[in-house]
Structure 1
């Protein structure tokens, strides 16, 4: 086989695609206020664009994963990277309300990158699965932070210059996808269109209420009706999937104790570690008020703090295979969950100065890297090879919903603790950090449910060195 088909060449090519994923996910959000002012989109419109992207993420995750297992991981990866590249170019070349909306939906295909790459990696180079996945996750974290920092720096010079950040990375990802080999996993099944429609409607309405609940009012008729509708539609979807001979998502997969534990753990840790990222920027940028909450940093300093968290996350991700070899998978999950809880507890107690805040924030970053690498590796290994992309897709859905729920809960806590001029009070921050700490510890309990005896072997040091 060629170098791109196995080992170091395969992982190096995948890294190019993951860099594109990180840049695309990290560059646009900090630019929305500037771009919104330029094209005439107010705060509500910017929030609606964010909502649209979240709906695209939620819907495309299971669709791309299932299509990859049915029609070939490389083929669907080419479709996904092309969609992202074209969407990025559309946004940069002609930024309007319509092109931003269409482009962000097209960029939502990045959610398929990890499930599809996992399918190729498992079939072409299974001996490098653990190390390869940890390197890819670490690369994703670094490129998330770097993409936002580069885009923000470009926009300091010209308001719309940052929109071009993702364009060259999209083109590079398309070229890398052509260089990858096709996976050898067996393909089977048919696409269940009715299940896809139900899932799209159910997930879309659930994301809608999570995103808009704080502005509508959590107990308002609009919120309650949307929530009930989403639960009813998702309930019907579950029944359809259970009775289908060709399900879109095989619900029976969650009867696998290992996959169920990993998915529940992913939801809980993502609740704080990812749901907290927006709140992190708000706290860092808020001028200290009478209660002393806020650090008053500028945009570039905030980007540097975020980049520092992702750098520590990269270290945690790349250390995960060695930790799993030394202590086992269940111990790694437990350590990651405890680190997340400890980091948020540290923020509750020590946050008055930047050095104090950095201690807790960097511990959260470490937990982010550990859980991202460990859960993505384990979700690959707990199912048959033909269901690899779908199992990773289930984990990515748990990741997305955990992050969305965390952001929604933080928003609700903030909405209940604001001053007369709309500034979040100290109690709002304290409650948010405490909620993230508690949910992280709940995730640790799910990690303890992962069977100790079922611990796939981790590559030895020689294999690790050749892959990295």
Structure 2
């Protein structure tokens, strides 16, 4: 709390009161706001994060069956994923900035309500139109972590590290459980699994009524011109990443779309530098510590998250058709994925404890080297399911470590009034890293065709090797000498 008070003194903003009045007619919100017991803050936040995890995890095993039910083929299903990716990229910085500007809790309530509405819309009447609209609304989950980080930093700064690691663990675990439940429900009927996210989203709506405000609304205006430039620039880059393999990386569409995205983002930076009320402080992008954290996030997400789809492909490949692979069914693949996220949950929970003893730099090295080791194990040991699981579980542990430590560092590296934007930029680094990783892996598969329409085993070996190399590069970012100043020994670590 002393560090928070000093931050407010330096920035000229008064620290928020512990109890914040709530505008609006909702008597339930007035009754609960600001009165949540300290010990209940993290469990209530975890409900919101579980909603995010289930929403991100439950559609993957469902979309092929649901697509057939509504008459959407493989191309149409890919376009739905593309729509979702574009929405993720655009909404990440916008929701974060709006939260810092108008209040974290207010934007969190709107985001959770949008996810609940989208989930209910798809479950009640599945069609191409409702699936498209629902997935766009569900993309509001990208705001959950930045906005929760803003509330947590204000209301329980002494639990910041432990709280963030607990929330990351809940996110990873709920992704796996959501996919497993949805896949099991859809064994009976293709669209039954669409109801998986509805009760969880409604619980999250109720949970947001219990949460206190992160901080008072900040003075300033929303820069619509900067938002348009940033959104269109990100759309251009995401389109190239998602469609480059189909269009051809050297085609006119790919090059034109990529160039337009880069030009728009350069214009956005120029506009932001001159703006009185910028959408994102450009200096955040050049801050040495944040630059290292975001580069590390990008490199680890490249493989740890970018390979998730290919992981399911390998597990589902039948050796009788392709000459390799365990040939698992959907439910068995979901169980393997659940094992990986359970390992990540355990590692995330242990990360604050280890960071207090070894330092942040050591934890970044641990996450990067762990991910590289896991992928190298897959390169060498993939002849049986047991061998494959060894490498996959190591990657799962590394995922928990890097997600916990990078989110904590992104939260702590900026003044309190910029918390959500900083975490939002980190989330965007994660999304772009995963998208580029998936695109590179797809290109490697296309370069190594195999039997029966499957990629050759060499394609997977190359993909694992590239993921290991990029993860090792992420580990090396922690060695940048000016990026990290370890906490002085005289300063006690945060409790929790």
Which SS does the other structure have where 2:453 is aligned?
coil
Note closer, same or farther for the CA distance 1:53–1:4 as it changes in structure 2 (3 Å cut).
farther
Partner of 2:15: none
Tell me if the contact between 1:123 and 1:185 (Cα under 8 Å) persists in the aligned partners: no
Structure 2, gaps ≥5 residues long: 1-17, 19-31
Q: CA deviation at 1:454?
A: 3.6
Tell me if the contact between 1:119 and 1:388 (Cα under 8 Å) persists in the aligned partners: yes
Q: Work out which of the residue numbers 85, 88, 106 in structure 2 matches 1:54.
A: 85
Q: CA deviation at 1:230?
A: 1.1
CA–CA separation in structure 2 for the residues paired with 1:191 and 1:184: 17
Partner of 2:119: 88
Partner of 1:21: 52
Runs of 4 or more consecutive aligned structure 1 residues displaced over 3 Å after TM superposition: 1-7, 289-292, 454-460
Q: Work out which of the residue numbers 48, 57, 64 in structure 2 matches 1:33.
A: 64
Tell me if the contact between 1:330 and 1:451 (Cα under 8 Å) persists in the aligned partners: no
Partner of 2:453: 422
Partner of 1:406: 437
Partner of 1:218: 249
Partner of 2:13: none
Note closer, same or farther for the CA distance 1:22–1:253 as it changes in structure 2 (3 Å cut).
same
Partner of 1:455: 487
CA–CA separation in structure 2 for the residues paired with 1:458 and 1:128: 13
C-alpha deviations, 1:66-99, integer Å up to 9, x for none? Answer: 0000000000000000000000000000000000
The question of 1:381 aligning with 2:412 is answered: yes
Count of residues in Structure 1 that have an aligned counterpart in Structure 2:
462
Q: CA deviation at 1:257?
A: 1.1
Decide which moves more: 236-245 or 168-177: 236-245
The question of 1:371 aligning with 2:409 is answered: no
Note closer, same or farther for the CA distance 1:320–1:27 as it changes in structure 2 (3 Å cut).
same
Partner of 2:106: 75
Note closer, same or farther for the CA distance 1:245–1:102 as it changes in structure 2 (3 Å cut).
same
C-alpha deviations, 1:222-261, integer Å up to 9, x for none? Answer: 1111111111111111111112121111111122211111
Tell me if the contact between 1:325 and 1:458 (Cα under 8 Å) persists in the aligned partners: no
Alignment of 1:283-294 (within 5 A): 283-288=314-319, 292-294=323-325
C-alpha deviations, 1:80-134, integer Å up to 9, x for none? Answer: 0000000000000000000000000000000000000000000011000000000
Q: CA deviation at 1:49?
A: 0.2
Alignment of 1:293-372 (within 5 A): 293-372=324-403
CA–CA separation in structure 2 for the residues paired with 1:244 and 1:332: 37
The question of 1:180 aligning with 2:211 is answered: yes
CA–CA separation in structure 1 for the residues paired with 2:161 and 2:35: 18
Which SS does the other structure have where 1:448 is aligned?
coil
TM-score by length of 2: 0.91
Tell me if the contact between 2:322 and 2:452 (Cα under 8 Å) persists in the aligned partners: no
Decide which moves more: 63-72 or 415-424: 415-424
Alignment of 1:105-120 (within 5 A): 105-120=136-151
Partner of 2:427: 396
CA–CA separation in structure 1 for the residues paired with 2:175 and 2:96: 22
Tell me if the contact between 1:267 and 1:402 (Cα under 8 Å) persists in the aligned partners: yes
CA–CA separation in structure 2 for the residues paired with 1:81 and 1:290: 44
Partner of 2:473: 442
CA–CA separation in structure 2 for the residues paired with 1:198 and 1:255: 19
Q: Over the residues paired in the alignment, what is the CA RMSD in angstroms?
A: 1.6
CA–CA separation in structure 2 for the residues paired with 1:192 and 1:459: 38
Note closer, same or farther for the CA distance 1:389–1:279 as it changes in structure 2 (3 Å cut).
same
Q: CA deviation at 1:185?
A: 5.3
CA–CA separation in structure 2 for the residues paired with 1:18 and 1:43: 30
Tell me if the contact between 1:5 and 1:124 (Cα under 8 Å) persists in the aligned partners: no
Tell me if the contact between 1:57 and 1:111 (Cα under 8 Å) persists in the aligned partners: yes
Partner of 1:134: 165
Note closer, same or farther for the CA distance 1:66–1:6 as it changes in structure 2 (3 Å cut).
farther
Alignment of 1:184-195 (within 5 A): 184=215, 187-195=218-226
Q: Work out which of the residue numbers 284, 294, 298 in structure 2 matches 1:267.
A: 298
CA–CA separation in structure 2 for the residues paired with 1:173 and 1:164: 15
CA–CA separation in structure 2 for the residues paired with 1:94 and 1:4: 39
C-alpha deviations, 1:258-286, integer Å up to 9, x for none? Answer: 11110000000000000010000000000
